[in-house]
Chains A and B, each alone.
Chain A
Amino acid sequence: MNKTVKIVMVEDDDGHARLIEKNIRRAGVSNEIVHLPDGGSALNFFFKTMGKANEKRSSPILVLLDLNLPDMTGVEVLQRLKADDELKTAPVIVLTTTDDKAEIQRCYDLGCNVYVTKPVDYDNFANAIRQLGLFFAVIQVPETPI
């Protein structure tokens, strides 16, 4: 994956964030990871920080999104991302504990690219993240014009 691609992780649980990061690194992915703990700061990052920091067209992103956020649901963040003309091309991976079929369907309907359930069994968890890492390696992330 292009070194300039930024991984934006929206995850309220610090432990989960740490485990995800560890396993991503173990998969050999060394891209910058931005950790945002709630929906508000995520939206803030997407629509304010990114807009200001990158005046020139640059910095493609990949979003890792948890659905259970303290201030809003991840689905809402997903909706806002996909409603934006420029950000909607960014790949979104929903990574959450919810394995409800209706919820999964809804995320795919809204335009999420991959839906991964966090298993309690750590081996499976690590495996899933590592495979995501492999996925990152081959994925082509479009440059997001900001």
Chain B
Amino acid sequence: MTQTAGFGFRRTPLELQLLLAALFMLACLMAASFWLSQRNTAEREERLVVRNHVERLTMLEAYVRASESGQRGYLLTGDKAFRAAYDENFGQVRPLLDLIGAPFGETPEAKLLLDVRRQIDAKMQELADTVRVYEAGQREEAMALVRSGQGLRTMTAVETGIRNLRAEMQRRLYENQRTTEGLETALFYLNLFGAVLIVASASSASYLLWRSNLRLEAAQQELELSNDNLEQIVQERTRSLQEANEEIQRFAYIVSHDLRSPLVNIMGFTTELETLSKDLFPSIDGDAPDVVKPDQTRLREDFEEALGFIKSSIGKMDRLIGAILKISREGARPIRPETIDMDQLVAGIAASMQHQTQALGASIEVGPLPMVQSDRLALEQIFSNLLDNALKFLRPDQPGAIKVAARKIGKRVEFQVSDNGRGIAPGDKTRIFELFRRAGAQDRPGEGLGLAAVLTLVRRLGGTIRVESDIDAGATFYITIPQTWSDQTKWTM
């Protein structure tokens, strides 16, 4: 059982590690995916810009051509409408060129754009020059300028420059397209990998869960098994304890009976001897005094003394055997639990001792006591023994104060029977509960049975007893019993 638990404890971090690893990888995947999409968007935006520029280049070329045709028409016809067309298209060229100029840094396009700008500047210069010369009235000179072919050259240069720039832009668009495709492929594989990873971690998680479930089930079965085992062990122990207890009681019973039988003989024949002695040693009253010899008187006295000792010893032995019998019977008596008002029970005992209490000038205070479900006879004997003891061993130099109190400890009740009597020496605290043992000055009657009987009874009720005391400091007996007696608590001693 412990092994499985240890196993489980070592397992948990591994599962946690797996979970953390899966989370970390998912986070990486998300970051990469995000980055790739960002890149893709940037590429797409760039492509849009470049496309715009390509369009603008086309328009630019168209404006330059339109300006040229406007200039030619004006020069040939002098018609103001051509001049207006020229002006309008001419005016469009520069702003458009400036628009294209904006987004390029140190790129091949920038150089080509510079070239285009120069060519356009040259072309525009040529157009403006011819128009100015023509309007100054020198028509022939203006026509000569056109015939020189400079216009055609600059126009071709502009076209070439624009073509080159457009080609470069197309190349860039193509590259951009390739990059986007690469990014999209990467994104696809990344997502595929992510899906695989999710499936893998989900299945490994369910596998781990299944495995730990299996282990849990096995552990539970083991626990149930060992629980059953434990119950069996407890039952076996209880049975053997019960048997041992019954054995002891049978033993005590048989011994006390078998000891009593020879005692009847000893007592009987001793008494017979005593009767005989009256014949052997004629009494002084019965015969004339002169007949009685002094020797005979002494012999008779010795004889009677011996008989007296024999008889008093037999009497004591009979009482001891009787005590053993009583205790063994007490142990065998079945417990009959009933609801008992302990206040009433103890107060009743105290009342029965009132005569004795008054004679000693002592008081018995019975504090609030709880109700219990237990054996009335046993409790009566326990408390009357304890109160009797308390009264018996009071100190003569102060008024006796005896107190019975109680408190609940979980399902058990602890009774305290305390007095301010002569107390018990620390070394005697266990001895006083033994059969026939007495402690302190032997100046009070008793056989050493009371506390032994109390101990037996308390144990029968499934309880414990202990004493706290010191010489001349009074004594407090603590009796703890289950508030509700049940068969199970019977063997807890």
Contacts and interface: CB of A to CB of B under 8 A. Distances in A.
B265 A13 contact: yes
A120 B314 contact: yes
Contacts of A13: 261-262, 264-265
Contact of A123 (B260, B263, B271): B271
A122 B271 contact: yes
Most buried by B among A13, A19, A98, A122: A122
B268 A19 contact: yes
B264 to A, nearest CB: 5
A100 B315 CA distance: 20
B115 interface: no
Given A68-B257, A68-B258, A98-B257, A120 B269 contact: no
A95 to B, nearest CB: 11
B260 A120 contact: yes
B328 to A, nearest CB: 10
Interface in B249-273: 257-258, 260-265, 267-272
B257 A120 contact: no
Interface in A1-53: 13, 15-16, 19, 22
Interface string A107-146: 0000000000011111101100000000000000000000
Interface in B268-312: 268-272
Contacts of A120: 260, 263-264, 267, 314-315, 318
Nearest to B265: A15
B270 A122 contact: yes
B265 A97 contact: no
B447 to A, nearest CB: 15
A122 B264 CA distance: 7
Given A120-B263, A120-B318, A97 B257 contact: yes
Contact of A19 (B260, B269, B314, B318): B269
Secondary structure at the B interface, as helix, strand, loop or mixed, is: helix
Contacts of A125: 264, 267-268
A118 B264 CA distance: 7
B252 to A, nearest CB: 13
Contacts of B271: 122-123, 126
A109 B354 CA distance: 42
A97 B260 contact: yes
Interface in B315-357: 315, 318, 329
A13 B265 CA distance: 9
Interface in B225-267: 257-258, 260-265, 267
Contacts of A123: 271
A16 B261 CA distance: 8
B448 to A, nearest CB: 20
Contacts of A22: 272
A122 B267 contact: yes
Contacts of A19: 264-265, 268-269, 272
A15 B260 CA distance: 13
A15 B263 contact: no
Contacts of A119: 264
B262 to A, nearest CB: 8
Nearest to B258: A68
8 contacts: A19-B264, A68-B261, A97-B261, A119-B264, A120-B264, A120-B315, A121-B267, A122-B271
What 7 A-B pairs come out closest when comparing CB atoms? A15-B265, A122-B271, A120-B318, A19-B268, A97-B260, A122-B267, A122-B268
Interface of A: 13, 15-16, 19, 22, 68, 97-98, 100, 118-123, 125-126
Interface of B: 257-258, 260-265, 267-272, 314-315, 318, 329
Given A120-B318, A121-B318, 15 more contacts: A13-B261, A16-B265, A19-B265, A19-B268, A19-B269, A98-B257, A100-B329, A118-B264, A120-B260, A120-B264, A120-B314, A121-B267, A125-B264, A125-B267, A125-B268
